[in-house]
Amino acid sequence: MSEIAITSSGRNRGVKFRPVTQDSPFARYALIATAVLFLALFLFAPLAIVFVEALSKGIGPFLTAFDDPDARAAIRLTLLVAAISVPANLVFGLAASWSIAKFSFPGKSVLITLIDLPFSVSPVVAGLVYVLVFGGQGLFGPWLAAHGVQIIFAVPGIVLATIFVTFPFVARELIPLMQEQGTVEEEAALTLGASGFKTFLTVTLPNIKWGLLYGVLLCNARAMGEFGAVSVVSGHIRGLTNTIPLQVEILYNEYNNVAAFALAVLLAGLALVTLGLKSFLEWRHADALSGRARRH
């Protein structure tokens, strides 16, 4: 038996059966090598350098970077901004995708296009628009100043800019999912006597929970990392209106490399955790995310 197995496997090596869609080994290795080289050069190397630079003077200076009150203020502000803008966009994203997926109304396609606007507009432009609307010389500027409300160069402006930039993440994730699911389960719940809100809680939400979590993760990653729009509206006041990305830039411009890269490590760490969670969700709930398991 074993002899036969050996000869047959030996013969197989000679014949080399290959599926028609598979390229020759040379093409395969060339493609893989290109991809790996590209990733190494443009993704892994920068990430590694962030960690190397941060720890270049040892663990001590790395840790003292976080003792700086301005750095702590930046971390606090970033967390605060994310804590406001992510729930806001969670609510908005749910409302928008609900109305788009479950109802038809005039202007629906306009709404879908508008949701994508933050993806197509440069964040700097978005920030400038807020300055023009809420700034001192802006549309509502004088009125706001008269009432003692400061939006631009203050926390509210940063929150608004972040909300704008992270607008589409939840909605974009949920709309296709909800459209695919349709309304029939909700209708069933309604005929069974459930109120609209109870139907949402007990039927709609469980069906979209993984997609929703996925969208929230992406939204959160972007909210913490946003630079352009926030940079325009923040005013870069140390200890007051600097988020982590802005603080990193300031420290870097002051040649305070260790402190700059230490904060960058924190941001990169947040991004890695988000990515890890996202991959876990994709692996664990791929069906629910794509809506494929909905049909039986």
Q: Which is nearer to other proteins, 33 or 293 (CB)?
A: 293
Binding status of residue 106 toward other proteins by CB under 8 A: no
| Residues that contact other proteins, how many (by CB under 8 A) | 19
Interface with other proteins (CB under 8 A), residue from 193, 253, 255, 283 = 193
Structure tokens at 151: 């939006």
3-state SS class at 195: coil
Helices assigned H by DSSP within 40-152:
45-54, 59-64, 69-102, 108-120, 123-134, 141-146
Q: Which is nearer to other proteins, 14 or 193 (CB)?
A: 193
Binding status of residue 177 toward other proteins by CB under 8 A: no
Torsion, Cα of 160, 164, 165, 168 (10° steps): 140
Binding status of residue 287 toward other proteins by CB under 8 A: no
Interface with other proteins (CB under 8 A), residue from 23, 116, 180, 187 = 187
- The C-alpha R_g of the chain, in whole angstroms, comes to 25
Choices 32-40, 56-64, 181-189, 260-268 (CB under 8 A): range interacting with other proteins: 181-189
- The minimum distance between CB 96 and other proteins, in angstroms, equals 23
Binding status of residue 203 toward other proteins by CB under 8 A: yes
Q: Which is nearer to other proteins, 1 or 192 (CB)?
A: 192
Binding status of residue 188 toward other proteins by CB under 8 A: yes
Binding mask 204-243 for other proteins (x = CB under 8 A): --xx------------------------------------
Q: Which of 118, 151, 116, 131 is nearest to 226 (CA)?
A: 118
Q: Which is nearer to other proteins, 22 or 104 (CB)?
A: 104
Cα distance between residue 110 and residue 80, in whole Å: 32
* CB 173 within 8 Å of CB 166: no
Name the phi and psi angles at 32, rounded to 5.
-60, -45
Binding status of residue 179 toward other proteins by CB under 8 A: no
Strands (E), the chain: none
- The minimum distance between CB 287 and other proteins, in angstroms, equals 11
Q: Own/partner pairs for 44-52, CB < 8 Å, 24+ apart? A: 47/268, 50/261, 50/264, 50/265, 50/268, 51/261, 51/265, 51/268
Which distant-in-sequence residues (6+ apart) come within 8 Å of 130 by Cβ? 151, 152, 157, 160, 161, 164, 229, 232, 233
Choices 11-19, 58-66, 146-154, 203-211 (CB under 8 A): range interacting with other proteins: 203-211
Binding status of residue 180 toward other proteins by CB under 8 A: no
Binding status of residue 195 toward other proteins by CB under 8 A: yes
- The minimum distance between CB 191 and other proteins, in angstroms, equals 4
Interface residues with other proteins (CB under 8 A) are 184-185, 187-195, 198, 202-203, 206-207, 293-294, 296
